């Protein structure tokens, strides 16, 4: 028997390998800001952040102030940027812990200025330029005005300028080049007016692996660091999956032909067979849409998911697999013997993207971290004149190239 009903094995060596692959693509002069939002895409943000910093990344990107504060509580002292918008009630704590903030509007600039004046502190902000994604960020036509506001402020410090590319396939889509040109026009004017400060960053995973240029000071890989690339991009074969997802057989039953399994009887046995019950369901991240539509691996063979996926349990047909026993490992995502099921395979089965599958892995799924003894990539050179976040650790290990 295994120790957990359902568990995700997180391979820290694979994470280091993927960060090395990214580093080799971008070169020594460009920093890596690893995106660890959504609990590091389901992989466990705290452990991922600590190991990625050991591997030499320069900063962490999160989606919310709550995610940033969780990392601070876990002892992460590196630079953290809230890429999305912050929650007003958490603004004071965000500033207190030296967390950098994405700036998307003049209203937010005013509210941060007022709050910092009351607290007697400064906010380090990264101005986001909306070049085409449309969700957040100031339009290019308003960017210089907002940069001048930050420049003249007593309580706002420009730590960077950023944008986010809308196409999912990076430079393979001509719209990415159009967004990049729009971003460049803002940078050019800001440079002429002496308004540029801090890191400039735009490239996500898709842009890194489709060779966007320039890469500026920093790139923001997310899903590629976890071993997945959108579509069939160049370099996908260089990455290793970081997550595998497992459960175990807890019950076996022989059923006659015609017997129904699961809610609403959506599956009826076409023959006498043996079914296995697994203690994993949609609350753990096994998509409900995999009912009668997915497969798992048992004893190195594929077994179909039968009936509806329940909140806590799922059934599989193992009548064709000899010797299945209670306690056998069941692989939902990962490899057993010659067979392998990837996040991309599961995503295709239910008509979604791999991000959704990994992010849906629930909190009650135990994360089991393996590997992590070695680190592979060097820290990029630091720039002595560049300001640091107030709580950035001076004790982070510096790794030899």
Residue 300 backbone zone (phi > 0: left; psi -120 to 50: alpha; other: beta): left
Find, among 98, 148, 108, 102, the residue nearest to 126 by Cα.
102
Q: SS3 breakdown of the chain: % helix, strand, coil, rounded to 5?
A: 35, 25, 45
Check if 128 is active-site: no
From CA 15, how far away is CA 52, in angstroms rounded? 8
316, 282 contact by CB (below 8 A): no
8: nearest Cα among 360, 396, 257: 360
**251 belongs to the catalytic site:** no
Check if the beta carbon of residue 284 is closer than 8 Å to that of residue 328.
Answer: no
Select which of 4, 37, 142, 251 is catalytic. 37
Q: How far is CA 107 from the centre of its chain?
A: 29
Count the neighbouring beta carbons within 10 Å of the beta carbon of residue 275. Answer: 23
Instruction: Return left, alpha or beta for 183; rule: phi > 0 is left, psi -120 to 50 is alpha, else beta.
Output: alpha
The catalytically annotated residue of 251, 253, 263, 363 is 263
Q: Which residues are catalytic?
A: 37, 263
């Amino acid at each position: 028997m295994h120790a957990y009903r359902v568990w995700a094995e997180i391979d820290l060596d694979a994470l280091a390998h993927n960060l090395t692959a990214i580093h080799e693509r971008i070169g020594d002069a460009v920093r890596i800001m690893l995106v660890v939002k959504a609990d590091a895409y389901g992989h466990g943000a705290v452990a991922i952040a600590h190991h990625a910093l050991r591997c030499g990344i320069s900063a962490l990107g999160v989606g919310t102030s709550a995610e940033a504060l969780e990392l601070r509580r876990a002892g992460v002292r590196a630079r953290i940027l809230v890429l999305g918008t912050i929650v007003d009630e958490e603004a004071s704590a965000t500033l207190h812990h030296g967390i950098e903030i994405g700036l998307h509007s003049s209203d937010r600039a005013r509210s941060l200025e007022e709050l910092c004046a009351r607290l007697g502190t400064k906010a380090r902000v990264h101005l986001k330029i909306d070049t085409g994604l449309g969700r957040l960020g100031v339009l290019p036509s308003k960017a210089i005005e907002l940069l001048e506001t930050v420049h003249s402020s007593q309580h706002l410090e420009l730590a960077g300028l950023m944008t986010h590319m809308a196409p999912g396939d990076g430079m393979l889509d001509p719209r990415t080049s159009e967004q990049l040109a729009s971003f460049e026009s803002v940078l050019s004017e800001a440079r002429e007016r002496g308004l540029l400060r801090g890191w400039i960053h735009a490239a996500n995973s898709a842009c890194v692996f489709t060779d966007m240029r320039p890469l500026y000071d920093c790139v923001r890989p997310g899903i590629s660091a976890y071993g997945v690339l959108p579509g069939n991009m160049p370099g996908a074969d260089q990455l290793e999956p970081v997550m595998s997802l497992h459960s175990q057989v807890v019950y076996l039953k022989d059923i006659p032909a015609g017997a129904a399994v699961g809610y609403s009887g959506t599956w009826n046995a076409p023959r006498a067979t043996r079914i296995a019950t697994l203690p994993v369901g949609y609350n753990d991240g096994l998509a409900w849409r995999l009912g009668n539509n997915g497969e798992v691996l048992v004893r190195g063979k594929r077994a179909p998911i039968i009936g509806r996926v329940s909140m806590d349990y799922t059934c599989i047909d193992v009548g064709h697999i000899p010797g299945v026993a209670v306690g056998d490992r069941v692989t939902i995502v990962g490899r057993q013997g010659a067979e392998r099921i990837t996040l991309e395979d599961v995503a295709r089965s239910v008509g979604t993207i791999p991000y959704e599958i990994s992010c849906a892995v629930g909190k009650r799924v135990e994360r089991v971290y393996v590997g992590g003894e070695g680190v592979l990539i060097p820290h990029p050179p630091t720039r002595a004149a560049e300001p640091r976040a107030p709580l950035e650790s001076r004790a982070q290990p510096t790794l030899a190239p």
